Structure 1
Amino acid sequence: MANITAADVNKLRQVTGAGMMDCKKALVEAEGDFDKAIEILRKKGQKVAANRADRDSAEGAVIAAVNADKTSGVIISLNCETDFVAKNESFVKLATDLATLALNYETKDDFLAASFNGLTVADKLTEQTGVIGEKIEIGSYEKLDGPFVGAYIHAGNRIATLVSLSANVDGAEEAAKNVAMQAAAMAPLALNEEGVDSAVVEKEIEIAKDQLRQEGKPEAMLDNIAKGKLGRFFKDNTLVNQDYIKDSKLSVSEYVKSVDSNLTVTGFRRVALA
């Protein structure tokens, strides 16, 4: 039987993040073979992942990252089962490291197949499921490219946003962050009127007409009045038309143009835990 020292156990714990007893058992089973012990812990993770596959992973950390050129950003949510795990410093660091890696991949599938510290991302998540004892998975995966991309992560890592602007001008970084904060706080449905799904528009028109009928308005007037109400809906629910939260005298579009007269918001992404 191999002589398993406390230093061996601690080394395995540092590498894998597994508990002391789990590491000792793995080393004993592996007869002191370090690499084999890691594989044993990974297999334990795969077993735990299968057992917890039907569990709800509604908690987690939502992280946004932007590349060095400020031309591309990504948001990922690293989901888990409990708030306790989600707030753990090492869990948030893992989410942050994964978001940085995700900048290099266009799709979630490519990202999950990417190499991360000697494992694929998918295998790392399986390993961490075994270490932590909770279902760990990538939930949302959103990319955004543009001439200038900024990000915002709300305190507590439950909401993150990306915003793209039409040009990298003086003040673009602050403007992008401010608009990203707006998107986090106000949860717009779309960037502008054109981005709202036609089914949503039709539903809003019908709701407005029903309200007007109940108010006794003549049928012939309903279309015009409903369109006016639709304008209010667009103002409240599309990012560029919303009142800017730091100065309600301006719309978001007007705020951005106050930074540079030619500047516009070209896109946004928002991810929030339920």
Structure 2
Amino acid sequence: MSISAKDVKELREQTGAGMMDCKKALQEADGDFDKAIEVLRKKGQKLSEKRADRKANQGLILTRLSDDKSKAAALEINCETDFVARNEDFRNRAKQFLDLVFEKEINSVDNLLETQLEGLTVADHLKDMIGKIGEKIKFNRVLSVHSDGQYISYIHPGNQLGVLVEFDGEITDEEIAKDVAMQIAAMNPIAVTREGVDSSVVEQELEIAKEQLLNEGKSEEIAEKAAKGKLRRFYEERVLLNQKFVKDNSMSVEAYLKENEMPLVKSFHRLQLGEES
């Protein structure tokens, strides 16, 4: 069957697939547009299966806040190359998926993939994208959260690192709140407070410190006491409110917030591209 250039162009505009792919799909479907779209979708499925074992360690991290800052969402979408991650169409699709996470309050990748968007599941949309782009595309993390306080968001340039910070009350100064979010991005704390550090981590740090001191010839009693001193330094390095504030090392993050009459941090989420979820 002869396929006109006009039909190929129209199918390309509808699907975003390549010209030759559109022409072949129309030929296979005997000119039927609906069937041709299905052919392209199946092609995307086959390509998805072929690329399942490929590494997708590029992509974007996006966040969104409600107007009153009581609700927040975050999304990590991965692809194979930075070239695709910087593509405007890819970014627009990622924003659509983030909006869906925000509006539907989705909290898992599986739930997002099953959710309908414009008459198709998100999983089908991904297959279509894979078919058009020719790269493996997947979601690594999906997050939807609420607070009685307020959130601030920080996205590091390049969209490879994002932070959501929950404050225990109204944010009275957004610049200060943003400074704290940037502190989390830069210093990568493991908890907000000492109490939030997993007990197994504390025990391991004490054991390592004590073992080092015993190897240096210290007595058991001295090693026990000195290990606790090293643990305090560990808290100063890895616990957010105990960390020295990066813009003023003379005070801790907690002291900085209190000095500026800001609510303390209640929780945070730090998403770095490619990290295990």
When normalised by structure 1's length, the TM-score is 0.92
Which of 154, 162, 175 is equivalent to 1:160?
Answer: 162
**Partners of 2:237 and 2:94 in 1: CA distance:** 32
Q: Contact 1:105–1:111 at 8 Å: present in 2 too? A: no
CA pair 91-65 structure 1, distance change in 2 beyond 3 A: same
- Alpha-carbon deviations, 1:137-181, whole Å to 9, x = none? 10122333222011111111111110011112421x333322221
- Alpha-carbon deviations, 1:34-74, whole Å to 9, x = none? 22222211111111111111111111111122223311212
What is the DSSP-based 3-state SS (H/G/I as helix, E as strand, rest coil) of the residue aligned with 1:99?
helix
> Residue type of the partner of 1:164?
E
Residue 37 of structure 2 corresponds to which residue in structure 1?
38
Residue 70 of structure 2 corresponds to which residue in structure 1?
71
Residue 264 of structure 1 corresponds to which residue in structure 2?
264
Dislocated runs of 4+, deviation >6 Å: none
What is the DSSP-based 3-state SS (H/G/I as helix, E as strand, rest coil) of the residue aligned with 2:166?
strand
> Residue type of the partner of 2:15?
T
**Partners of 2:55 and 2:96 in 1: CA distance:** 23
> Residue type of the partner of 2:176?
A
Question: Are residues 1:49 and 2:48 paired?
Answer: yes
Residue 130 of structure 2 corresponds to which residue in structure 1?
129
| 1:223-234 map, 5 Å | 223-234=224-235
Question: Are residues 1:22 and 2:21 paired?
Answer: yes
What is the DSSP-based 3-state SS (H/G/I as helix, E as strand, rest coil) of the residue aligned with 2:105?
coil
Residue 243 of structure 2 corresponds to which residue in structure 1?
242
> Residue type of the partner of 1:190?
A
| 1:192-207 map, 5 Å | 192-207=193-208
CA pair 252-6 structure 1, distance change in 2 beyond 3 A: farther
- Alpha-carbon deviations, 1:109-132, whole Å to 9, x = none? 322222223321111111111111
- Alpha-carbon deviations, 1:5-24, whole Å to 9, x = none? 33332332233221111122
Q: Contact 2:105–2:144 at 8 Å: present in 1 too? A: no
| 1:104-115 map, 5 Å | 104-108=104-108, 109-115=110-116
Question: Are residues 1:140 and 2:141 paired?
Answer: yes
CA pair 115-69 structure 1, distance change in 2 beyond 3 A: farther
CA pair 175-14 structure 1, distance change in 2 beyond 3 A: farther
Q: Contact 1:144–1:269 at 8 Å: present in 2 too? A: no
**Partners of 1:163 and 1:157 in 2: CA distance:** 17
Residue 59 of structure 1 corresponds to which residue in structure 2?
58
**Partners of 2:256 and 2:12 in 1: CA distance:** 51
Q: Contact 1:75–1:143 at 8 Å: present in 2 too? A: yes
**Partners of 2:269 and 2:11 in 1: CA distance:** 39
**Partners of 1:68 and 1:10 in 2: CA distance:** 41
Question: Are residues 1:174 and 2:172 paired?
Answer: no
Q: Contact 1:159–1:273 at 8 Å: present in 2 too? A: yes
Which ranges of structure 1 fall in alignment gaps of 5 or more residues?
Answer: none
CA pair 69-38 structure 1, distance change in 2 beyond 3 A: farther
**Partners of 1:191 and 1:143 in 2: CA distance:** 19
Q: Give the deviation of 1:229 after TM superposition.
A: 0.8
Q: Contact 1:205–1:227 at 8 Å: present in 2 too? A: yes
What is the DSSP-based 3-state SS (H/G/I as helix, E as strand, rest coil) of the residue aligned with 1:199?
helix
**Partners of 1:131 and 1:139 in 2: CA distance:** 21
> Residue type of the partner of 2:82?
D
Q: Say how many residue pairs are matched.
A: 271
Stretch of structure 1 that moved more, 227-236 or 206-215: 206-215
Q: Contact 2:171–2:177 at 8 Å: present in 1 too? A: no
What is the DSSP-based 3-state SS (H/G/I as helix, E as strand, rest coil) of the residue aligned with 1:129?
helix
Residue 80 of structure 1 corresponds to which residue in structure 2?
79
What is the DSSP-based 3-state SS (H/G/I as helix, E as strand, rest coil) of the residue aligned with 2:60?
strand
Q: CA RMSD in A?
A: 1.8
What is the DSSP-based 3-state SS (H/G/I as helix, E as strand, rest coil) of the residue aligned with 1:139?
strand
